[in-house]
Structure 1
Amino acid sequence: MIKSILIDDEEYFLFAFSKLLKVNFPEISVVGTATNIAEGVEIIRNVKPDLVFLDIEMNNETGFDLFKYFDKIDFEVIFVTSHDECAIKAIKYSAFDFILKPVDNDELKEAIERWKQKKYSREISNEAIRLLIENTQSKTYKKITFNTSKGIRIVDIDQIIRCQADTCYCLIILNGNEKLLISKNISSIEELLPDKIFIRCHKSHLVNLNYIKEYSYEDGGKIILHDGAKIDVSTRKREFVINFIKQR
């Protein structure tokens, strides 16, 4: 049985969400609910849950404040939020999962299934939480986390040379020729990376502009990167890429 607790300042939501879990996810037991962070901290310390469903905006505090009360995090978190774009982006950069209010049963099921499949070490999980808090306090993100088959990998954004579509997956190529296979499509990765640095030069390629060495006219146009890779350029991106290189 999976022990869970719910932290949300809306009592009706706590009731409705508890019922939703009981009806649709019998393997998840709600062992406590809290309407503020202090109550949540006390329940977590007493019952030691496996999973916490955590609201982000709660009166004069945020769900992120929860982590300040723990030196080590020995539970996993799925955030529950309304349409707060800044918070959602910070969560995505930090590889945590979230569901939107009003909660859709299918989206909840997908989030729970993703959680079941994750196998994080606590060290990495705590590092991801530190990154999450850092991201919520900044408008620019220097690091991003990716879920890999081995766990969570935290990456400096400026170390990403390019991303290459691989069916439903995406191959992330880092400086030093390290490669990460991510279970997200390239469009999802494109949404996360800053568009001032990365360009979708082709439907299958996303390139860090800082690693472009030259532009070649061969085979309809290719970008030559510092690592020697030759990347196709679509017709509609050709002029932008050429102008960018000329201005450097």
Structure 2
Amino acid sequence: MTPPQRALLVDDERLARAELRELLRPYPWVKVVGEADGVTSALARIEELQPSLLFLDVQMPGESGFDLLARLPACPFDVIFVTAHDAHALRAFEVNALDYLLKPVHPDRLARTLSRLAGEEPGGAEPARGPGRQKLTEGDLLLLENGAKSRFVRVEQIVCVRGAGDYSEVFAADGGQTLSPRPLKDWEQRLPERTFARIHRSALVNLAFVERVDRSLGGGGDVYLRGLPEPLPLSRSHAAALRERFG
């Protein structure tokens, strides 16, 4: 039996919200509990209604749907983006959205999305997640999951990523620390090269957070990062490349 969903519709266009309500009528297990026309009202409605599902417009006056997610301390609900521009699809996947729908929303496309939400995968449906090897940019928003908790972090706010066996630890500028199931080599492939550099076989750092580098007699050293209490080791093999990055 499909579990019931409490849906909140977030779109600055009243007609778009009304059309989506109508499209959801054949799905009694999706109950629309409220609407919001922007980020500020959506934050209030999320706190008030505690939805389990968010239909979220991307482009809205003032702040975007991505800005809304960035302002949430956690994401205890599924997100389905609704957008008029398919260029936003990659970023939707980067925040681990369940799916994205292009306006005007087609009933068949909505049906496939809701089947996925219900745990079904009808033939021919698009994959629930986007390509895993796309390069990120500094402004991209990532959903970092840690057990039952999850948080949104912009790439530019990642201080460093440290290897932890098959996993990795992600340190953010706000002091948050998350254990990621993605290995360090995957982070190296996806993080923007102009911003991040490998300093050791077990560490990637955001160059914008480097405060100083202390060299050792052996050719390696220590890298001090703003926001971290202890320096990270700089290996001899990566020291020359790091010096070159800093000119």
Q: What is the TM-score with the length of structure 2 in the denominator?
A: 0.49
- The structure whose residues are more often helix, as a share, is 1
